[in-house]
A and B are shown apart, each in its own frame.
Chain A
């Protein structure tokens, strides 16, 4: 079942990404102020959306894991964290590539980039933790707790960083999200791009989840075999 779902998502992603690329590079008009560089915006914003969405998935999966206990929730959380990290990194890179021509600097501590960077650190901490600890039920519970606490942190980060940056307005101009997208084609392009990236998130999740679940199933089989051999009195 999940293989079929994966294939459908993959096909849909491919289609929508293709459409989106065409729209970004051929169809949508160049933005007046920033020029051609502004097209990065159509990659950057969806990456940001996916990164935050994946983070939310990690937290929600964590809640379900602690509450219901099925291993699939832990697998989902781990998969979402890995994919989210990927898109978070892309978000930072596209943000940097965008910043250089516009503001003349590779990095800047505006409120959005800063929040993104903290998100990246939170993801990094989660993944490093999972990498450093051997897999076990206990570690899965730890990871769920970390995911939940980190997600609770994100709104506070957003508020505090925004306040932090508004007291230094002279340094740079804050980017707005749908900042005066004059042409309706720009809005359409953005929405299509967001949809394409969201599909990609879903597709990558099913792929990664399939691997993790196979590993879980393998573990269950190995455990059952170990118990059966133990039962028969042979050495394990």
Chain B
């Protein structure tokens, strides 16, 4: 079995057992939505535009939480060092952590999407299947950035601030594209209408997964 599969199944198994990350992300996504509804008021907090924005805000906040935890899972008992000593390539470790973070985020945001449709008075029919690929693309891009950068922020004092500080500006293009595409999907338009935005999301993902894959070894080593 390739190292990627071995590490990923280990992370999935651990998450299934404790579930802390995913549950925390679902909770955070829900809280973000609730805050937005109460802050915007029911007159504004309705319809596809507001809903798309709310869901992607939830993605960013929940993602911040989830992505840093993917690497934190290795901090007990020095397991990260064991992984670094092992024959597994650093890049493969990155891919596995990225995949794990993305999977947990997608699950959490799936729940978030359901809440969004409910809170923002949207139609369920067809909205969620259309949203799914857009959310998945967004999650992959976010996880690609956050997994790479959390290797840095995990080590710093006050590192919790560092991760959002670095990730959020870098995520702007995907955020912009994702919200636009999601708004189109939620308002019933077919995905083809959002073709340009989806193209940006795809380019974003390809670019940053590749960058992370190549650069991870430089950020994960020891002194």
Chain A interface residues toward B at CB < 8 A: 66, 118, 121-122, 124-126, 128-129, 132-133, 136-138, 141-142, 144-146, 148-150, 152-153, 156-157, 159-161, 163-164, 167
Q: Is the CB of B219 within 8 A of A156?
A: no
B180 — nearest CB in chain A belongs to which residue? A164
Q: Which of A126, A144, A153, A160 makes the CB contact (< 8 A) with B218? A: A144
Is B78 among interface residues, defined by CB-CB distance under 8 A? no
Q: Is the CB of A66 within 8 A of B173?
A: no
Q: In B168-205, which residues have CB < 8 Å from any A CB? A: 168-170, 172-174, 176-177, 180, 196-197, 200, 203-204
B167 — nearest CB in chain A belongs to which residue? A125
Q: A125-B165, A136-B223, A148-B211 are in contact. Are A153 and B152 (CB under 8 A)?
A: no
Cα distance A140–B35 in the bound complex, in angstroms: 39
Q: Which of B166, B208, B218 makes the CB contact (< 8 A) with A129? A: B166
Q: Which of A124, A144, A160, A163 makes the CB contact (< 8 A) with B172? A: A160
Q: Is the CB of A152 within 8 A of B211?
A: yes
Q: Is the CB of B152 within 8 A of A142?
A: yes
* Chain B contacts for A138, CB-based, 8 A: 221-223
* Chain A contacts for B31, CB-based, 8 A: none
Q: Which 6 interchain pairs have the tightest Cβ spacing?
A: A121-B169, A160-B173, A156-B173, A142-B152, A125-B166, A141-B218
Is B156 among interface residues, defined by CB-CB distance under 8 A? yes
Chain B interface residues toward A at CB < 8 A: 145, 148-149, 152, 155-159, 161-162, 165-166, 168-170, 172-174, 176-177, 180, 196-197, 200, 203-204, 207-208, 211, 215, 218-219, 221-223
Q: A132-B157, A149-B148 are in contact. Are A160 and B162 (CB under 8 A)?
A: no
B212 — nearest CB in chain A belongs to which residue? A149
Q: Is the CB of A149 within 8 A of B211?
A: yes
**B212 to chain A: closest CB distance in Å?**
8
Q: Interface residues of A: mostly helix, strand, loop or mixed?
A: helix
* Chain B contacts for A152, CB-based, 8 A: 207-208, 211
Cα distance A74–B162 in the bound complex, in angstroms: 20
Q: A133-B156, A138-B221, A148-B215 are in contact. Are A153 and B165 (CB under 8 A)?
A: no
Q: Which of A141, A146, A161 makes the CB contact (< 8 A) with B166? A: A146
* Chain A contacts for B176, CB-based, 8 A: 160-161, 164
Q: Is the CB of A145 within 8 A of B148?
A: yes
**A155 to chain B: closest CB distance in Å?**
9
* Complex A-B: 5 CB contacts under 8 Å: A124-B169, A128-B165, A132-B157, A145-B215, A157-B173
Q: A146-B149, A149-B145 are in contact. Are A118 and B172 (CB under 8 A)?
A: yes
* Chain B contacts for A144, CB-based, 8 A: 218
Q: Which of A125, A141, A146, A159 makes the CB contact (< 8 A) with B200? A: A159
Q: Is the CB of A137 within 8 A of B169?
A: no
Q: Is the CB of A163 within 8 A of B148?
A: no
Query: Which of A133, A150, A157 lies at the interface centre, i.e. has the most chain B CB atoms within 10 A of its CB?
Result: A133
Query: Which of B200, B208, B218 lies at the interface centre, i.e. has the most chain A CB atoms within 10 A of its CB?
Result: B218
**B220 to chain A: closest CB distance in Å?**
10
**B139 to chain A: closest CB distance in Å?**
17
Cα distance A141–B131 in the bound complex, in angstroms: 38
Q: Is the CB of A132 within 8 A of B173?
A: no
Q: Is the CB of B207 within 8 A of A156?
A: yes
Q: A152-B208, A163-B200 are in contact. Are A122 and B170 (CB under 8 A)?
A: yes
Q: Is the CB of B208 within 8 A of A149?
A: yes
* Chain B contacts for A159, CB-based, 8 A: 173, 200
Cα distance A125–B163 in the bound complex, in angstroms: 9
Q: Is the CB of B156 within 8 A of A132?
A: yes
Cα distance A121–B208 in the bound complex, in angstroms: 18
Q: Is the CB of A153 within 8 A of B173?
A: yes
A158 — nearest CB in chain B belongs to which residue? B173
Q: Which of B162, B177, B204 makes the CB contact (< 8 A) with A128? A: B162
B177 — nearest CB in chain A belongs to which residue? A160
